[in-house]
Chains A and B, each alone.
Chain A
């Protein structure tokens, strides 16, 4: 597609449920990032994929968070047993390679009630 596509755009879930967030990067971009932005806060790095290399998971806040990237394209971020503090906007970005301009999707606003 023309840009990074994320779905859903909004998600409300009950505490304790699992959620899956999807990111479809720009075609041909090998690097894919997930960030989280809580209200009034900066962007918090979660995970990074680059081609076939092992992902950098150093930003994942707990083992309830996981992500995968299938076929070097679409990525899914999964949050298990959601907590209220997981409420945030989850942003996905892709770039042609590491360190170049990364282009963001519109994000998924997750609300845990």
Chain B
């Protein structure tokens, strides 16, 4: 059975800190790994990763995938209170249809 595990489950940091969120997975016939940010209802798309070792970057957020060790990390540098959200990792395979989501990491950035 496909599995996506995120850690930590929750995290509290001070503004300006750097955080690293983890996502490990077991999936048959891997296709892609996606990161989302969920603040209220709708998750918003951050990154899609398909190749190992290639960093995706958007402002203070970056992510990288390791297909050998089956994990991805999401880094946020110089955190701001607006980064407070649940960060979701999802994995897609070529042999299944659904995006398989982890339970998320709840990040709280305090002033």
Enumerate chain A interface residues (CB-CB to B < 8 A).
33, 35, 41-43, 45, 48, 50, 56, 58-59, 89, 91, 93, 98-107, 109
Contact = CB atoms under 8 A, between A and B. Distances in A.
A104 B34 CA distance: 13
B41 A91 contact: yes
B92 interface: yes
B42 to A, nearest CB: 4
Chain B interface size band reads 20 to 34
Contacts of B80: none
9 contacts: A42-B104, A56-B97, A56-B98, A59-B98, A89-B41, A98-B97, A100-B92, A101-B34, A103-B45
A99 B45 contact: no
Given A42-B101, A42-B102, A43-B88, A100 B48 contact: yes
Interface string B23-38: 0000000011010100
A30 to B, nearest CB: 12
Interface of B: 31-32, 34, 36, 41-45, 48, 88, 90, 92-94, 96-104
A93 B97 CA distance: 13
Shortest beta-carbon contacts, A-B, top 10: A99-B92, A107-B41, A99-B31, A42-B103, A45-B98, A48-B97, A43-B101, A56-B97, A104-B42, A101-B48
B41 A102 contact: no
A62 B88 CA distance: 26
A57 to B, nearest CB: 10
Residue of B44, B90, B97 with highest tally of chain A CB at under 10 A:
B97
A98 B92 contact: yes
A41 B43 CA distance: 13
Nearest to B40: A106
Given A99-B31, A100-B32, A102-B34, A45 B88 contact: no
A67 B94 CA distance: 23
Nearest to B41: A107
Contacts of A99: 31-32, 92-94
